[in-house]
Structure 1
Amino acid sequence: MGDNLVMKNSENQRPTRWFASFGTAALMLAVVSGSILNLARADGYYEGETITLIMGLDASAGGTTVGRLMAKHLELNLEGNPTVIVRNMPGASMMSAHIYVLLKAPKDGTFVYYGPRSSLGELLEFPGHSFKYSQFTVLGGAQLAPLVTYVRKDMLAGGIQTPSDVLRAENLIFGGISAEHGRMIASTMALDLIGVKYHFVGGYPGSGRIRAAVLSGEVNMATDAAHAYLNEAVPLLAQRDLNAPLFSLPQLTADGQLVKSPLVPDIPTVDELYEEIYGTPPSGANWDAIVTMIEIDQTMQHVFLGPPRMDPEAVETFREVIEPMMQTTAFIEEAVRILSYAPDAVGYERAASILAATADVTPEVQAYIKAQIARNNAY
C-alpha cells in the first residue's frame, strides 16, 4: 500500500500518512501469502448461484459498508464466481437476522449471516436472545478497529495535556449508546480501572450523534472505533483545540497476547496507562472483566455464520476463501480507500474458539459485567 495507500480524512479527503507503514506491511503479507491475484475459478460449488449476506443492520450503518465490501470481494474470489448481495434485516437488536439464518435459511450456503453479534446477549441471556452461536455453522470473521476513548481537552484548567490529567477533571459525562452495549461496558470499565470519576449518559442512536454531543458540550467524553476517531472525531475537535485522547483497548492476538493496534501507535492502551499511573500492571476483578470483554466482544466484531447443517461443500468453499481474500491487494486497497484501514481476517477455527469462549466466562466476571450495566443504567 505504501505511500499511495494512506489513511484519509473523510471531512476533506486530505491524506494522512500516519499509517503508511501499516499499509505496507499488509501488502507485504499479501505478497508473501501468494494472494495478490483474485482467487476465484470459473467453476466450483457456487457457479451460477446468488449468495445473500444477511445483515442485522440498517442499510445506512457503517457496518453495512463493511458488508458490501465483503460481498464484492467474495464475488471476486469464491470459486464459481457467484453473485453476492447484501440484504439488510434490521430489527430486534440484530436478532431478526440471526434467527432468519438459524431457523429459516436454506442449507445450501446461499444465505449467510454477516455482521455484528451479541456476545453479551448469549452470556447474560438478554430478552430475545434465545440461541447460542455454537448452533450456527461458523465460517470465519473479521477483526475491526479497536476502541479509543477520548475527552474534551477543556475539561481541566490549562487543558488536559496527558491522559493521566483526566484524573483531576470534574463533571465528566460519558456519552454512549445503551448501557448494555459491549462498547459502552468495555470503555466504562476501563475508565473505572484507571480511576476516572464520570457519569454515563446513554440513549444516543449512534456514534455520529455522540460526536456531535461531545462537540456541543452536551457530554464531554466518548469512545469510538479507532478509524472513526481519527477520521471523524479528531477533525471536529481539533478545530477548537478540544481533542484529548485517553487510551485505546488493546487487541488480543491469536496466541493470547494483548497488543497495541498499529492504527493508534501514539495512544496508550488502557493497561499501559494504568501502569504509568500506578506503577504496576493492572489486575483484579475489573481487569479480568475487561480482558473478557476484549476476548468475547472486541476480538471479532463481525462474523460469518451459516445455518446449522450447512452443505459441507459450501462450508469448505467459504472457509477456504475468507482469509486469503482479505489479504489480496484488491481487498486491502479498497478497504483503505473506503474504510481508511484494512480489517484483519479471523479464520473459522479461531472464530469458533472466540464464540465458544463465552461459555467459559466465570460467574465472578459475569456478575461484574452485570453490575457495570446496572451502574451505568442508574445514572
Structure 2
Amino acid sequence: MTVLKSTRNAVLGLIAAAGLAMPAQADVDFSGKTIEWVIPFSETGGSAKWANFFAPLLGEALPGQPTVVVKFMPGAGSTKGANWFQKQKDGDGTLLFGSSGSTQFPYLLGDPRVRYEYNDWNAVMASGTGGVAYLNAEDGAKFDGSANALQDTDFIYGSQGATRLDLVPLLAWKMLGMNVEPVFGIKGRGDGRLMFERGEANIDYQTSSGYLKGSTALVDAGKAVPMMTWGALDENGEIVRDPTFPDIATFKEVCEATEGCETSGEAWDAWKAFFVAGFPVQKLAFLPAGTPDDIIAAYTKAFQDVVARDDFAEISSKRVGKYSVFTGGGAQTALGTATNVPAEAKAYVTNWLSEAYGVTLK
C-alpha cells in the first residue's frame, strides 16, 4: 500500500524534521504568569501522566519560569475538550492543549461530534508512546504466547469508545479471535484500569505512561499478566518490540502464534495503519490558532531545552517511556502523520465499527 508506506516513512523522518528552524524569539516573558495545560481526559489516564511529567520541566524552560498547571476537561472521548479548544483564538501563551490518539481517531473517522480542525492549531511538541494489553491472573495463567486458549473466554473491557484509541486493542483482540465485550463511556484509560482493579473488567490496555505508573504494580502483585504490546517501528517501517518493554511480545508475534490470525491482508493493513497514526506520534501539545510567532518560538525552544537536558533520557524512560519527542517543525510534521490514514484502512475500520458496534459515521 503506497500511501501507508509513505506514512511510515514520514514517521521515521520526523527526527530529522524536529530540528527545523523557527522564527526568532522576541522579548517573550512569562514571569509571574500561570499557564494552563488543558487535557481532554480524566486525571487518571496516560495523557494526564504525560502532561504532569512535562509541565514542571516546561515551566523551568520557558522565559520567566511560569507555573504550568495541568487541568482536565473530560467528556465525549476527548471531543468535548477539543471542540472547546477550537474556539480559543489569538493565544497569549498562557493556554496549551494536549491531545492523544483518542482525539485523533474521531477526526480521522469523521465522527459527527468533531468540531475541531487540527490544521488550525500550532503544534509545538509531539511524542510517541506505546501500549500494553494485560489479563487478570486467572486468564493470564492460560496465556502461552498465543490467544488459542483464550478464545472461549468472555472478556469485559472498560472503553472510552470504539472510535477512540481503543480501536487499536479492540481490533487486535478481534483478529485474535477473542470475545471481548467493551463497556463504553469511561472518561480515560485510568478509569479502565480502575474497573480492572475492582474486578469489573478482566482485560485492559494502557498507554506506556499509564502502564508504567499504574499497571506495573498490579503485575508485580500478581494481579495482572502482560499479554502484548503494540510494538514500535524500525527503520524499515516494520513492527519490532517496544523499547520500553523489550521483554513483552508484540501483537504481531502473538498474532503469528494464534490460529486464524494473519499478519497480512485487509484487517492487518487497517490495524497497522491506525497503529501508525495513533502511537509513534501519539500525544501532541498545541497553542491556539492565531498565537504570535514569537510565542510559538519561545515554546519550541523551551521544549527543545527540556529534551536536551542531561537527565531527560533517564527521567522520561521511567515516567513516559523510551520514545522520540519532536519539537518545532518536527512537531508540525508529526501532526500530519498522526492525522492521515489510507482510504482503504478507513473504509475497513468504518465497516467493522458499523458491524461490530452499530457505530455509524458520516
Q: Fold match, TM over 0.5?
A: yes
Does residue 107 of structure 2 align to residue 125 of structure 1?
no
Does residue 244 of structure 2 align to residue 263 of structure 1?
yes
Given candidates 97, 110, 114, the residue that maps to 2:81 is 97
Amino acid at match of 1:300: V
CA separation of 1:357 and 1:344: change in aligned 2, threshold 3 A: closer
Does residue 350 of structure 2 align to residue 370 of structure 1?
yes
Within a 5 Å distance, the mapping from 1:135-284 to structure 2 comes to 135-144=120-129, 146-155=130-139, 159-164=141-146, 166-167=148-149, 169-193=151-175, 195-203=176-184, 205=186, 206-208=188-190, 210-211=192-193, 213-214=195-196, 218-226=200-208, 228-229=210-211, 232-233=214-215, 235-236=217-218, 239=221, 243-252=224-233, 256-277=237-258, 282-284=263-265
- For residue 286 of structure 1, give the secondary structure of its aligned residue in structure 2: helix
CA contact (8 A) 1:251 1:258 kept: yes
TM-score, with length taken from structure 2: 0.76
CA RMSD of aligned residues (A): 3.5
Inter-partner Cα distance in structure 2 for 1:83 and 1:100: 22
Give the stretch that moved more between structures: 181-190 or 327-336. 327-336
- For residue 165 of structure 2, give the secondary structure of its aligned residue in structure 1: helix
CA separation of 1:347 and 1:209: change in aligned 2, threshold 3 A: closer
Amino acid at match of 2:142: I
Residues 23-51 of structure 1 deviation map (CA, whole Å, 9 limit, x = unaligned)? xxxxxxxxxxxxxxxxxxxx941243623
Inter-partner Cα distance in structure 2 for 1:328 and 1:180: 38
TM-score, with length taken from structure 1: 0.73
Inter-partner Cα distance in structure 2 for 1:199 and 1:65: 27
Given candidates 57, 73, 77, the residue that maps to 1:73 is 57
Amino acid at match of 1:187: P
Aligned length: 331
Higher relative contact order (CA 8 A, sep 6+): 2
Query: How high is the sequence identity, in percent, across the aligned residues?
Result: 19
Inter-partner Cα distance in structure 1 for 2:304 and 2:259: 40
- For residue 138 of structure 1, give the secondary structure of its aligned residue in structure 2: strand
- For residue 164 of structure 1, give the secondary structure of its aligned residue in structure 2: coil
Inter-partner Cα distance in structure 2 for 1:62 and 1:309: 29
Give the stretch that moved more between structures: 52-61 or 261-270. 52-61
Amino acid at match of 1:79: P
- For residue 299 of structure 2, give the secondary structure of its aligned residue in structure 1: helix
Inter-partner Cα distance in structure 1 for 2:239 and 2:53: 28
- For residue 296 of structure 2, give the secondary structure of its aligned residue in structure 1: helix
CA contact (8 A) 2:326 2:334 kept: no
Residues 209-246 of structure 1 deviation map (CA, whole Å, 9 limit, x = unaligned)? 5445546665432222345446644543665x564432
Structure 2 unmatched ranges of 5 or more: 1-25
CA separation of 1:272 and 1:122: change in aligned 2, threshold 3 A: same
Alignment partner, residue 46 of structure 1: 29
Inter-partner Cα distance in structure 2 for 1:45 and 1:253: 39
Amino acid at match of 2:229: S
- For residue 68 of structure 1, give the secondary structure of its aligned residue in structure 2: helix
Inter-partner Cα distance in structure 2 for 1:237 and 1:100: 37
- For residue 104 of structure 1, give the secondary structure of its aligned residue in structure 2: coil
Alignment partner, residue 325 of structure 1: 306
- For residue 159 of structure 2, give the secondary structure of its aligned residue in structure 1: coil
Alignment partner, residue 55 of structure 1: 39
Structure 1 unmatched ranges of 5 or more: 1-42
Residues 292-325 of structure 1 deviation map (CA, whole Å, 9 limit, x = unaligned)? 1122222233211112232111112212331440
Inter-partner Cα distance in structure 2 for 1:268 and 1:216: 26
Inter-partner Cα distance in structure 1 for 2:193 and 2:74: 23
User: In terms of Rg, which structure is larger?
Assistant: 1
CA separation of 1:111 and 1:132: change in aligned 2, threshold 3 A: same
Inter-partner Cα distance in structure 1 for 2:289 and 2:267: 36
Measured after TM superposition, the shift of residue 124 of structure 1 is: 1.6
